[in-house]
Each structure stands twice: as C-alpha cells, then as structure tokens.
Amino acid sequence: MCKILIPLLALLISSPSIADEGMWLPHLLKSLNESEMQSKGLKITAEDIYSVNESSLKDAIVALNGGGCTAEMISSEGLMLTNHHCVDNLLQIHSTVENNYLEDGFWAMSKSEELKNENLSATFLISIEDVTSLFKDSLSIELSEAERNKKISEISKKIVSEKTDSTSYSARVKSFYGGNDFYLITYVTYKDLRLVGAPPSSIGKFGGDTDNWMWPRHTGDFALLRIYTAEDGSPADYSVDNIPYKPKHHLPIQLGGVENEDFTMIMGYPGRTNRYLTSFGVKEALEITYPEIIDIRTKKLDIMKSGMNSSKEIKLQYAAKYSGIANYWKYFIGQSKGLKSMRVYDKKVKTENMLKLWIDSSNTDIKEKYGNTMQILEEAYEKNTKVALNRTYLTEAIFQGPEILSFSYTMKNRINALPKDKEAKSQAIRKLKKLAKEFYKNYNAKVDEDMLSAMLEMYYYNVPKHQHSKIFKKIENQLFGIKKLDFNYYAKNLFNRSYFSSEENCLRLLKNPSKLLVEKDPAYLTFSSIYNKYLEELYPIRKEVRDLQKKGNRLFISALREMDTIKKFYPDANSTMRVTYGNVRDYKPGEAILYDYYTTINGVIEKEDPTNEEFIVPEKLKELYKAGDFGRYSDNDGNLRVNFISNNDITGGNSGSPVINAWGEIVGTAFDGNWEAMSGDIAFEKNIQRTISVDIRYILFVIDKYANASYLIDEMTLAPIRE
C-alpha cells in the first residue's frame, strides 16, 4: 500500500515548482532553478546571479540595517536606491518644522551636501555555505529543546569564529526549514551612509493609507543613499575623509521598461513568512491574535492622528511612527480577509490529513519519527490559548504602546549598567543624555498621555482579570472608593510625577542618575508591574509552548520533505538573501474585473484631491505633466509609466528590492503587495498574488526633471534599450 500511496500524495499536495512562487536561496539556484528560470526567459546564468569568486548580482544587493528593507547599488560611486518609506525616519530626523524634508523632499546637489546618518548600515552578502553536516551527529532526537539550542549555539560559535578570525567580516549560522538545515552566512557591513535624495511625500507616499496595499497604485516610493568607505575601501565610521564606495557590481538601468509577461527577478532580504504554518496557527491568528492587534492599532492610530491634526510640529514628530503602525494595521486586516476568502485553514487541514495518512501507512521508522508530530503541535497551540491574548496586549499595548513605559524600561537598564569608574561613568551618562535628546525630539507628552490611558483601559477590559498585575488594583482604588474607573486620571497623575514625561525632567534625573529613583518612578512601576506579572506567571507556559512549537514544526517540515521527494521546497523567509522569479502580469481580482499591469502619470492627475493630504499633487509635477515633458523616460506611446505589477513572491523586508529583467538590468523597485493576496505570507496564491513596483523610468524622471538632479543620472550606467 505504501508504494502506491506516496506518489498519489505527491500529486495531491504539490506540483512542480511554480516560477512565481518561492523565495529561493541564491547559492542553490544552479542546482534547483537555473533551467526553469531560463525556460521562463532568463538570459543570464545562476553564476551571474550568485558567485563567491566573481562579481555577480548578489554584490549589488544590500540589507539596510541588517534587514527591514533592501537596497541596491546603481552606480560605481556608491549610489544606492531603496524605498522612500525605508528612509522616512531619516527624513524626519533631519527635518524641522521650518525645513520639512518629509513634506518638501530633499536633494543633495553635490556629494558635499549629502546628509550623514547615525545608526544606519549597509550589509553585503559574501557567501552562503551549507554546514548542516556539522550539526547532525550532535542533535539527537533525545535532546530537549533547551539542550538542542545549547548545542546549536556551541557549534555555531565555533564555526563563526573559524570563518571570521582575522577578517573584517561578520558571520551567522542560520537555521532553515524549521531547524532541519543550517547555513553559515558571511557578510561585510558599511556604516557611513549618507542621504542623497528623496521626493516629497506627495510623490513618495502618494495615495497614503488609502492606496496602501492596493492596485492600481501611483506612488513614487523611492529614495537615494550613498555608501562611503575609508580610503582603502574598507568599512569605516563616518569621516569627512571617507570616499564613495566602489561596489563589486552595480545594476545597469534599463529605460526600455517591461511589458506584460516579461521575465522579472527580485533579489532582497525578505523578513519572515510562515508558509509551513499549520491549521492550528491559522486558527489562532484568525480567532485571537489578529482581531486584537487590529483593535489596538486602530485606537493607537486614532490617538496619533488626533494629535497630528492639532499641530504641524506633532505631525512631523509622529509621521514615521504613524506610517509604521498603519502599514501593518492594514496588513493584518487584509491578511485576515485573505485567509478566510482563500479558505487557507481548510487547505492546511487537507495537507495535514494527507501527511497523517502517509505516516500511518509508512514503515515503523517513519511512524516512530513522525507519529506524534500533529499531537505535539495541537498540544502547543492548546497551551498557548492561556497566554496568547496577554502576549498580544503586552506587545502591542505596553511595549509598543505609550512610549513613556518602554523608555523608562530602557533608561532603567542603562542606568543599572553604568560603570563604577568615574571617567567611564561620565562618558556613559553623556550617551544617555544624547539618547534622551533624540527620544524627546519626536515625542509629545499629551499624545503619549492619551495613549497610556487608552492602552491601559484596553488591557484592563480585554485581558483576563486573573492575569492582571497589581497596578490595576491601584487604578481601581485611586479615587478613594468611587467605583468608576478613570484611566485618564491615572495617566495624568503618572505624567505629572514621572521623570520621563519630558526632556527637562529626564535630564534632571541624569544629572545624578539613580537606580532607586527610576525604580520608584510611576512610569517604570507601571511597566514593571505588568511585565513582571507576565514573566512570573505566564512566561513559563509560553516557554513550554515555544519549545513544543519548535519541535513540532521541525518534525512537520521534515516529514513533508521526506514524503514528497519530487517537490522543490524553499525555506521560509528569515531575513537572508532570497531570489524570486516570475513575470510581469495583469490579473483578475474578481468576476468581470481585469487589472492592467501598469499605471501612468495620468492616474496621478486623476486621483488629485487638494483637500486630502494623501492625494496632493506637487505643482511642478503638474506643470511637467501639462507640458508632456517626459523626455527619454516615456514609453513607446509617449506615456510616463509610474508603477507596474509582477507575480514575484515577496514580503516585508523586500521593500526597496530591485526588479531585474532577463539580462540582469534594473527595471523597477519593489515596494508593496496587492490587497487581494494578503494571505501570501502564509499561503501563496499564484493566480492573484502580485508585487507592486515603481517603474525605474518614473524614478529617473523625478530625479532628472522634477528635482533637477541630473548629475545623479550621469553617474549611472544606462543599458542599451532592448526591443
């Protein structure tokens, strides 16, 4: 029976790898994907994409700050392209109310005008090596998860040390396929990055929250940075003596654009997917996690928006914060709808039932190895129901809620760690004062006081009462017997008494920082009361859950791969470089609806609404449109294309990734996905999932015609236009 069943199951749960699905490891393209990619239209080789010994496309791809966003080299002088939304926090830091780069844009007209940035890095991949064999003998199935983790850490440290000793490289051993495979990944990181240019938000964020995740889009979501190095080309901290970085490879610009069905490839650093998530995880997300995240973020956004509408200063302070919260607020709404409409839960159950059937019909070794896999996962998620709601509120409403709470926690830890040596302590205090100044630059006490009141109230009424910390009893009793709960009163009182409610108060504390004073501060007391309750009573449960989930997931993925030896499996995204390939393609989001594969500047003008800040069109852009002054950036019909879509497989972290054509030339920059396929991080939907990208011609048009920064175009390599 087993011999007949296995091929049948293979047909049921998988099909040959689909070009548009999959976030593939670049060093495995030669063995897994090259022939298929070339059959789809690729004109270069896997070696041209990833090579350790020769210049290749990987050498043009950058992880910004180690992940979170991707960027790409587009000149031999260190010029780097990414998304506007990846640098909006930098624009905010450099801005003032009088000189608002978020609103007005910024353009350096020479290298001397470029703006330096602290705590910003550009990381390049050097190599990926399979080191799984070095772990196999040490990771027996009898080990507990704690023992397994300890052994992995010991072996990883040894491998990394041997790789990086006497080099300027960094390295990490990362696990893949749920912890079944291990790869040593080596990087080099540069820390002198300068802001070169960014359009105003009316271009870079055109459409705002309304158009976010939607198609058709008309957004010029791009920005430019430049990497600098020491004179010998090595990584160096900022210095006026540094020189522009000379990359091993930079992407040529293709002004010929793309047409429907053209081959496209995206390289970048996708953050996280959960394609192997089981039905238990989908159910938990839909019934517990996502609804609460959406409710909490809705309240946070309302409070921020109210403050931002009250003054230009608050609007500037909270613009990047608001955008970050809103982006994934809408994402969770869309993903919830997508998971339901695509019946992802039912599909997961079907796969799990087939896996159980395969295990039950297999030999004794398979049964012993995988027989309790689904029971382990079911037990893990059942236990997690006791802590999932609390963890969601702890993360969203406390750690990521009122900033005064998390900042008090940060300062307490920093003050506790102050050295005893007088000179070293004085230097550390200066750093703390600098940290405080940076924090309060983008902080409004009234907004945060409202946030504290609202988040404590939501926590109180939604988290089970037996999981409440003592601070809520204090809130209940604060009005001396009056039964009405008043979270506004508590928040106001806290802000009146806390050292962390203003820069002035905080700097007064830092004149002679005291651990005792911080521990008595009402902001820290509130935070520590809630957090300690979780650590003492719920974290042990969560730790047990996490261990069960890790073990169950590892067995689940291993069983899938062992059951189906025909399918080419790709690992979930984990902020390591990936390659995805597919085609430019229109799509049908519903009956009698067909979405074209590109948009033009005509749509920008059609959407204009001077009364809505999301749809304001800059005067100069309108003048260029009226004049039809698109130059060499127009398509064959004389239109200026703005965005296009392809069926490439991306997720968060791919923001800023280059869209590359069949010849290895950049044709666009990815910045979003489409609303109808928001379940994509858990289940890829090949018929409707699309990546939304800025056409490289619109980017160059804005740089050249709008910003008059043509000197930047001059340093790029323009590829011959392909017919």
- The DSSP string of 590-632 is ETTEEE-SEEEHHHHHHH--TTSGGG---HHHHHHHHHT--GG
Residue ranges with strand state E in 474-613: 578-583, 587-590, 593-595, 598-600
Instruction: List b or e across 143-152, with b for residues whose CB sees 16 or more CB atoms inside 10 angstroms.
Output: eebeebeeeb
Query: Is 27 an active-site residue?
Result: no
Q: Are strands 192-198 and 181-190 parallel, antiparallel or unpaired?
A: unpaired
Pinpoint the alpha helices (H) of 40-144. Answer: 46-49, 88-94, 101-104, 133-136
Farthest-apart Cα atoms in the chain, separation: 81
Pinpoint the alpha helices (H) of 311-402. Answer: 312-341, 344-360, 364-370, 373-384, 388-393
DSSP 114: P
Could you give the domains of the chain?
A: 2-275+572-714 (2.40.10.120), 279-556 (no CATH)
Measured between alpha carbons, how far apart are the two ends of the chain, in Å?
56
Nearest to 190 by CA among 216, 221, 154, 228: 228
Query: Is 85 an active-site residue?
Result: yes
Residues written for the chain = 723
**Would you state the pLDDT for residue 1?**
35
Name the token pair of 205: 């964020």
**Would you state the pLDDT for residue 723?**
72
DSSP 183: E
CA 432 – CA 413 distance, rounded (Å)? 11
Q: 471 Cβ partners below 8 Å, 6+ apart?
A: 525, 526, 529, 530
Q: 223 Cβ partners below 8 Å, 6+ apart?
A: 81, 82, 83, 84, 86, 87, 195, 197, 198, 199, 204
Residue whose tokens read 């506004």:
488
Query: Is 466 an active-site residue?
Result: no
Strand partners, 244: 228
Question: Which residues in the chain land under pLDDT 50?
Answer: 1-19
Q: 661 Cβ partners below 8 Å, 6+ apart?
A: 254, 258, 262, 263, 264, 265, 667, 722
Name the token pair of 127: 């190599």
CA 477 – CA 109 distance, rounded (Å)? 61
CA 283 to chain centre: 23
CA 160 – CA 387 distance, rounded (Å)? 36
Strand partners, 21: none
Nearest to 652 by CA among 249, 85, 84, 271: 271
- Catalytic residue (choose from 56, 59, 75, 85): 85
- Catalytic residue (choose from 221, 262, 681, 695): 221
Contacts 24+ apart (CB under 8 A), 107-114: 107/196, 107/197, 107/198, 107/707, 107/708, 107/709, 108/194, 108/195, 108/196, 108/197, 108/709, 109/709, 109/711, 110/711, 111/226, 111/244, 114/194, 114/195, 114/196, 114/226
- The pLDDT tens digits of the residues spanning 298-319 come to 999 999 999 999 999 999 999 9
Answer yes or no: are the C-beta atoms of 680 and 651 closer than 8 Å: yes
The phi, psi pair for 372, rounded to 5°, reads -105, 15
Strand partners, 107: 197
Answer yes or no: are the C-beta atoms of 552 and 528 closer than 8 Å: no
CA 278 – CA 548 distance, rounded (Å)? 13
DSSP 538: I
Answer yes or no: are the C-beta atoms of 262 and 277 closer than 8 Å: no
Residue whose tokens read 């069109």:
617
- The pLDDT tens digits of the residues spanning 393-446 come to 999 999 999 999 999 999 999 999 999 999 999 999 999 999 999 999 999 999
Output the CA angle 249-255-259, nearest 5 degrees.
Answer: 110
Contacts 24+ apart (CB under 8 A), 127-130: 127/27, 127/52, 127/185, 127/186, 128/25, 128/26, 128/27, 128/183, 128/184, 128/185, 128/186, 128/576, 128/577, 129/27, 129/183, 129/184, 129/185, 129/186, 130/181, 130/182, 130/183
3-class SS of residue 88? helix
- Catalytic residue (choose from 655, 657, 679, 693): 655
Q: Rounded to two decimals, what is the model's pTM? A: 0.93
- Residue 97 carries which side chain, given as an amino acid letter? V
**Would you state the pLDDT for residue 483?**
62
Answer yes or no: are the C-beta atoms of 175 and 181 closer than 8 Å: yes
Query: Helices then strands (H, E): number in the chain?
Result: 30, 20
DSSP 572: P
